[in-house]
Structure 1
Amino acid sequence: MSQRRGVALVAAAATFLATSVLSTIFQLYSWVLYSFLAIAVVVVVAILARTVRIPVWGQVLAMLGGLLLLVTWTFPSGHELLGFLPTGHTFRHFHSLLTAAGQDIQTLSVPVPERVSLDFLTTVGVGLVAVAVDVLAVGMRHPALAGLPLLALYSVPVAVQNGSVSWLPFVLGAAGYLWLLMTDHIEQVRRWGRRFTGDGRDIDTWEPSPLAAAGRRVGFAALVLAVVVPLAVPGFSSNLLSRIAGYNNGTTTGTGTGTQLGTSINPISTLRGNLTQGQPINLFTVETDDPDPGYLRTAVADQITDNGFQPSPPPHPQPLTAGLDAPTTGVSVSLKYDRYTASVKAQRLNDRYLPLFAGPTQVRAPGGTDWRYEPSTGVVYTDHPATAGANWSVGYDSFRYQPAQLRQAPELQPGDPIVRDNTEVRHIAQISDQVDALTAGKATEYDRVRAILDFFSPKNHFKYSLQTKAGTSGSAIVDFLKGRQGYCEQYASAMAWMTREAGIPARVVVGYTHGTRLGNSATWQVTSHEAHAWVEVWFPAFGWVPFDPTPSTEITGAAVFGWAPNPSTPDTSSGPADNGKDKPGRSAGKSADQGQHGGPGLARSAAAHKTRTTTWQYWVLGVLVLLVLLAVPAGRRGLLRRRRDRTEVRAVTGLTVDPAGGPPDVTVDGGDTARSAAARSAAHAAWDELVDSLVDFRYEVIGSETPRGTAERLIRTPGLTGDAADSVRRLAEAEERARYAPTPADPTGLRAASRDVRTGLSAGVPRHRRIAAVLLPRSVLRRWRGAVADSATGLTGRLGAARDRAYRTVVPRRLFGPRTDRSA
């Protein structure tokens, strides 16, 4: 059985090129690594299986087994055998990952953020496609059929993405498929016999041929036609390729000023991702003089689609400069308000929107970025994520709306641009009938809005959950109203949709609750679990007024507005004389034994207290780790000194042994006896200790200098006297005799001489050098630097030699098959 290695490798390359289409549905690029690993494992296992002549069905089992071991190793449950052999726990873990992937597909929008479940699904899916392509192209010798699994891979983003699919992944996938067809055809020609040029000359298997050149020309022409024709023919306007745009990972929307506003962070998908994260992530802190702050706004979604609301392009952005006054628009009546200031410090938040409180009067944004402000939405944004590690502040007015005042709001004017733009809705019979029933008999705009708000109450079987019920209507809003189970984005979208259906301007606002107060301070901690969405309704003369239909008992830091009691809390107001509390920031967080968004967990206040009480432990641990790292060079120097001292001890011990009765007089390499060799080693060790001491105390070391010259120089320059001078001469004499004399000097006393010289050298340097010689000995650091340099030089040499060998021996076209035997 032919191994067909060339076709197998090209099939793997074609599969990998086809995976480039996944870049249109993922925000990050972890899928590239997982796809490459899956394809590499499949092709290697397939080639090995064909090497031992396993039949096709056995090859399939081998490839599936290799893929199973790969996903077990890359997505472990923690109960595997030897780290890569699956167990029952492994398959249950895989089932949970697939379940989570299904939920992510239902809740996340394109481009999707990093998810372990989606990475697992990608690895398995790409691996199975690689198995199918290899079986069809190599095992069954039908490469044309291999285009079907490649097409299935390409159809994934087409099915889940509403926008266009870029032309570049299509071109890469098609090029890989054509490459596979041509490689297989050339392989067939090789099996027939020799290959010839047009003039009759035979050519080797790795040389280009007229057949291959013709195939490349035909493939290129077909690829150009596939991309260009749909653009040129009007009748193909609904074709997938008719929506070709610049290659990017998301759509772009104009800002109205000629620039392009990137969608690297989609506020709706970011909200979903934050809510579904298992552990909360500290995003930012807010310090404010507001005793009970409301919500922080980041983006406004005012464009309605079948699946909810999305942000529309900002119509009138203006540059934001430090101290820019940004008065709230639409307020023309006399309202009570409190003026506050807030400072925000980003921790792990990196967004292109600034979280700000409603009603901003002054915004000081982080420097170094072209921030813009949209007065109609109160949103401050820039083109790219720019909040990482930044600080900003905002001055804002917190208005005190009264139900009686809102009931007296002027009537809506159909010609008002705000009314016209924010009441657009796609009429659905089920929603229209529900809104008509709720608003029947309600005389004022406020009463109609309150009727819609009160509809989302537990008495109507609405409940908060991150798991939504599947529906069959084809509309996410209708399915939510039927299932009556979901989270804040769905509650806000449904209320805004129904409010628009009633002819009242409404929009969805995305942002964060105020989070949890840190102790009794004026600082609030906001995590990823405080991501939230709510509704703003337009009242003439009052402006945009917030309403929150999501059950407040499930949201940490949720606010209960006095003019809009949350449906899940008792309504203490009734009739025109509503007397609910008028402060918008009344918190309605969860009880102490609940976690964020209904999940189990510790109360945030308790968690904050625990963090404060254990902070000192982390500081102590960090200091201990730092001390250990600093002690490593000194410890290494001490070990080296003790090892050199033991060299003298062994030499002296050997000299005291009776020459007639022991091994000291046994001749070793070089003609020396063991006794002489030990003495020479002791002399060399003592001299090396002297050289290291010179380096530690920053004395000059001259490599070309003789030991005697070094000793005399040290006596003159540092001024060694007394025992130190005698000791350095003793060490120099021992080193010279160890190097040049037939018999070495007596090693007795070399260790004491080294200590005397070191003491004399330390006396001649400042105190800071003595301390540095103990804590950070330069001799050790120099030795480490030399070892690293030698390793790097050796690695560079080996890589260069391997490259040269590859250039001399490897010809890429040899991979396509064995060399033709010209002697046949």
Structure 2
Amino acid sequence: MMTSSDVRGVAPAMVVPLTCFVTVLLSLSSWGSFTSSRFPYLGPILVAGLLVVGTGISARLLRVHGSVVVLLQVLLGTIATGLLVVQHPFPVVGSGRARVVAEMTEAYAAFNPFDLPMSASEVAAYLVPSGVAAVLLADILAVTLRRPPMMGLVVLGVFTVPFTIIGAGGWGGVSWVVFALTATSFLVMLRLDRAQQLGRWGRRLDEDLPVVPAAGPAVIGVSAVAIALLAPAWLPSPSVTLPGLGAGDGDGPLRVINPTVGLYDDLRRQSDQVMVTVLPTNGDTETPPSYLRVGALTKFTGTEWTSGNRDVPSDQTGVATFEPPMSDETLLGEPTTYELRASDNFESTWLPVFTHPLDVTANGPWRYDEDTLDFMSTEGRDETIAGETWRVTAAPVEPTQERLLAAGEPGVGAPTGMTELPLLPDEIEEIALERTAGQDRPFTKAVALQNWFRHSGEFTYSLERDVGTDGAALVDFLTDNKVGYCQQYATAMAVLARQLDIPARVAFGFLGGDQNADGAWQFRGRDLHAWPELWFEDIGWIRFEPTPAAADTSEPDYTTGALGNVRAEPDAPVPSTDASAAPVPNRPQREEPDTTEVAETGTEESGAGAVWIGLGIAALIGAAALTAPALIRRRRRTARLAGDAEAGWAELGDTAIDLDLPWSGARSPREEATGLAPHLLDREPMYALQRIVAAVERNRYAEHGDAASVGDDVRLVSAALREHADRRTRRRARLWPASVFRRPTAAAAGPTARSERELISS
């Protein structure tokens, strides 16, 4: 049975902080659902987190004020995180700041929520500081502020990260085992904290009675965890299902996760890894296939293009035959049948097909959207196209300029919602109207926009500029910097087209491929591309190519000369480090980021500087640790001497402990005074001790407590006790007071020259 002595000391002080730390660490393991591995970020968090928690435990054992505890934790946590992430102990100024900027720049380029799993080592610069901050915040709430239930908010915040990145479907990638272990650890922490709080009240009056465990809180906690684990199976939500249950052939609609590919990161890497292999088997087997579309994004949120909500019934499976996209089949070219195979590393939940598909055969849990002709997995990330083989028959759309110019009003026959836009800056609409001034047909307006991006607008293709897609960034891209890559050009043209009431969407996939010795075409990571598609009456979706010619993209034949422009493409500069390298489709030579020089400069500057800074910080911490006990003891003495009888009694007890005199803190005031009497040589200190004892007894036992101060008497007795002690003991009591480190223990044995009766009567 727990008594008052059980909640004091080193071990009890470690229980709640360490359990809190384990709880947060378990929740942080959920971030492994969107990273390649857990150790690159969990390892540094474990090291820095232990330092933060250990600092808190040590400081609280020294009875340091809570605000000082937090400051120490922040300081040491920052130093540890800096050393682990950027190898610098103080990453705020000088070379440390330069390293942080360089590391964060690289991490930003690698942080791509739509290209999963992300490399844990590359994004660790984001995850490690966030994880250490979660550990620190949880420790502050659960231990420093003594509000353990509020620590659950930290755990909830940690769990929202994978849900935000992956989406709600399939638990956001969070394993139910991780969730259950985290919840269990959280309940254990609450139980231990409650036991400590009750233990501070002292010995239970019913200790000799049989113990009946309080099952209520445990039942509530376990029930809550069970409900959280099982409720999604019965909730009427199409976007949440228990992982691994069901074959994916239900009758309800399927809500898909945002499928935007990580174009920026993949193009910067210029990956030569083969993603899809295509072999033409029937029809036009001579023409190189291009524009292998993975999917279409139909909704612009103001910050990004998404797939929107799709209604995909169970009867729309991966075996489908489609009607031509227009009423006049003469607009279609010769159909070609392709055998496609995805590499084992291409873990896409969307099935690439050529536009426009007429027949698709794909075995597995695949469904299609009739409006967009996109194919997607019903099992989310549990079922991808990696290693899969499928067949597609498709025919290119070959409309003439005359047919496109004759298209009626924009939006006629288009799917609903294809011109919707959120509230955007007025400048975007003004740009759309200005760049299409004098054009009265939807097609000529579209060509005018394409020509502006490719010819007259002085836009530049570059992979070294990520300008974003929100309203302000879009205005900046269209007016000032005019530097970007395919995704930004596709986004900009689609938004401008919608401003003109022309239905538009953004398609993404592969631009072109290389033919191997077997005659098959291989699409690689460097071939990833994005382009806009616009809708025209009786024709359907038509591809445009606003990305400048520097990316070696070519505008469609049906747009050439529509407004008098010639086919000759300008020689825009291509970012390259090798002037002799031959350009390939959408494969500009990658420039090395300007971070190497920063890192090298930082290394030279910080070689000796970091060592001296680290030694200086260590010296400051050591000096603070050496002087802290004396400062804490002085502050307590000042406050107690100005307080009531109980405060003065506590001060007298700490003085006795500092001087290594008998004092237990558990005996009556008269018994404690008996232990101190032999160390008082004069009568005045003896009388002062009697007055202190009497005041404490009146304060504790009288009907009306005595709030009088005994500060002067405590000073007199304390001075007499110090005078009686030897010089070494006095010096130790002044510089390293023992009362700061331990509470009163059992009464120390010592000589007692007079009995309590003699003390009181003298």
Q: Deviations over 1:141-161 (max 9, x none)?
A: 675786786676567679889
1:433 aligned residue (430, 435, 438): 430
Aligned to 2:537: 540
1:356 aligned residue (353, 356, 371): 353
Aligned to 1:481: 478
Aligned counterparts, 1:185-584, within 5 A: 185-197=194-206, 200-201=207-208, 210=214, 246=240, 257-258=251-252, 260=254, 263=257, 266-271=258-263, 274-275=266-267, 277=269, 279-288=271-280, 289-312=285-308, 313-314=310-311, 319=316, 325-332=321-328, 334-335=330-331, 337-347=333-343, 348-365=345-362, 367=363, 369-384=364-379, 385-412=383-410, 414=412, 416=413, 418=414, 420-426=416-422, 428=424, 429-457=426-454, 459-468=456-465, 477-478=474-475, 480-482=477-479, 483-518=481-516, 522-554=519-551, 558-564=553-559, 573=561, 575=563
AA at the equivalent of 1:600:
R
Local SS of the residue matching 1:526: strand
Q: Deviations over 1:474-525 (max 9, x none)?
A: 566445435533332222122112212212222211111113344x874333
Local SS of the residue matching 2:102: helix
Residue 546 of structure 1: how far off its partner (Å): 0.7
* Contact 2:337-2:393 at 8 Å conserved across structures: yes
Structure 2 vs 1, CA of residues 472 and 443 (structure 1 numbering), >3 Å: closer, same or farther?
closer
Aligned to 2:666: none
AA at the equivalent of 2:442:
E
Q: Deviations over 1:672-717 (max 9, x none)?
A: xxxxxxxxxxxxxxxxxxxxxxxxxxxxxxxxxxxxxxxxxxxxxx
Local SS of the residue matching 1:128: helix
* Contact 2:367-2:378 at 8 Å conserved across structures: no
Residue 383 of structure 1: how far off its partner (Å): 1.9
AA at the equivalent of 1:431:
I
Aligned to 1:128: 133
Residue 21 of structure 1: how far off its partner (Å): 7.2
Structure 2 vs 1, CA of residues 242 and 393 (structure 1 numbering), >3 Å: closer, same or farther?
closer
| Inter-partner Cα distance in structure 1 for 2:546 and 2:497 | 12
| Inter-partner Cα distance in structure 2 for 1:275 and 1:391 | 25
* Contact 1:412-1:419 at 8 Å conserved across structures: no
| Inter-partner Cα distance in structure 1 for 2:454 and 2:251 | 43
AA at the equivalent of 1:187:
Q
Q: Number of residues paired by the alignment?
A: 550
| Inter-partner Cα distance in structure 1 for 2:376 and 2:291 | 17
* Contact 1:294-1:559 at 8 Å conserved across structures: no
Identity in percent: 23
* Contact 1:50-1:59 at 8 Å conserved across structures: no
Local SS of the residue matching 1:287: strand
* Contact 2:460-2:483 at 8 Å conserved across structures: yes
Q: Deviations over 1:765-806 (max 9, x none)?
A: xxxxxxxxxxxxxxxxxxxxxxxxxxxxxxxxxxxxxxxxxx
Structure 2 vs 1, CA of residues 529 and 484 (structure 1 numbering), >3 Å: closer, same or farther?
same
* Contact 2:303-2:471 at 8 Å conserved across structures: no
| Inter-partner Cα distance in structure 2 for 1:523 and 1:393 | 14
Residue 329 of structure 1: how far off its partner (Å): 1.5
* Contact 2:86-2:96 at 8 Å conserved across structures: yes
Q: Which has the larger radius of gyration?
A: 1
Structure 2 vs 1, CA of residues 214 and 270 (structure 1 numbering), >3 Å: closer, same or farther?
same
| Inter-partner Cα distance in structure 1 for 2:421 and 2:62 | 62
Residue 421 of structure 1: how far off its partner (Å): 3.7
* Contact 1:282-1:525 at 8 Å conserved across structures: yes
| Inter-partner Cα distance in structure 1 for 2:321 and 2:563 | 38
Residue 173 of structure 1: how far off its partner (Å): 7.3
1:42 aligned residue (37, 49, 52): 49
State the TM-score, normalized to the length of structure 1.
0.54
Residue 283 of structure 1: how far off its partner (Å): 1.1
AA at the equivalent of 1:128:
A
Local SS of the residue matching 1:260: coil
* Contact 1:333-1:541 at 8 Å conserved across structures: no
Aligned counterparts, 1:18-37, within 5 A: 18-19=27-28, 27-28=34-35, 30-31=37-38, 34-35=41-42
| Inter-partner Cα distance in structure 1 for 2:291 and 2:167 | 31
| Inter-partner Cα distance in structure 2 for 1:304 and 1:343 | 33
Aligned to 2:19: 10
* Contact 1:295-1:559 at 8 Å conserved across structures: no
* Contact 1:329-1:376 at 8 Å conserved across structures: no
1:97 aligned residue (98, 103, 107): 103
Structure 2: any 5+ residue segments left out of the alignment? 1-7, 230-234, 569-573, 593-744, 747-762
Structure 2 vs 1, CA of residues 533 and 331 (structure 1 numbering), >3 Å: closer, same or farther?
farther
Residue 338 of structure 1: how far off its partner (Å): 3.6
| Inter-partner Cα distance in structure 2 for 1:553 and 1:575 | 21
* Contact 1:6-1:183 at 8 Å conserved across structures: yes
Q: Deviations over 1:798-820 (max 9, x none)?
A: xxxxxxxxxxxxxxxxxxxxxx9
Local SS of the residue matching 1:498: helix
Structure 2 vs 1, CA of residues 255 and 376 (structure 1 numbering), >3 Å: closer, same or farther?
farther
Residue 318 of structure 1: how far off its partner (Å): 5.3
* Contact 1:71-1:123 at 8 Å conserved across structures: no
Q: Deviations over 1:252-273 (max 9, x none)?
A: 9x9995253553xx42145455
Q: Deviations over 1:698-752 (max 9, x none)?
A: xxxxxxxxxxxxxxxxxxxxxxxxxxxxxxxxxxxxxxxxxxxxxxxxxxxxxxx
Higher RCO structure, 1 or 2 (CA under 8 Å, sep 6+) = 2
Aligned counterparts, 1:630-645, within 5 A: none
2:590 aligned residue (580, 600, 613): 600
Structure 1: any 5+ residue segments left out of the alignment? 82-87, 228-240, 566-572, 582-587, 603-819
| Inter-partner Cα distance in structure 2 for 1:543 and 1:392 | 25
AA at the equivalent of 2:398:
R
Local SS of the residue matching 2:478: helix
Query: CA RMSD for the aligned pairs?
Result: 5.3
Residue 393 of structure 1: how far off its partner (Å): 3.4
Residue 297 of structure 1: how far off its partner (Å): 0.9
| Inter-partner Cα distance in structure 2 for 1:129 and 1:398 | 53
Q: Deviations over 1:294-339 (max 9, x none)?
A: 21011111223222322241567854576x5434211416337244
Local SS of the residue matching 1:457: helix
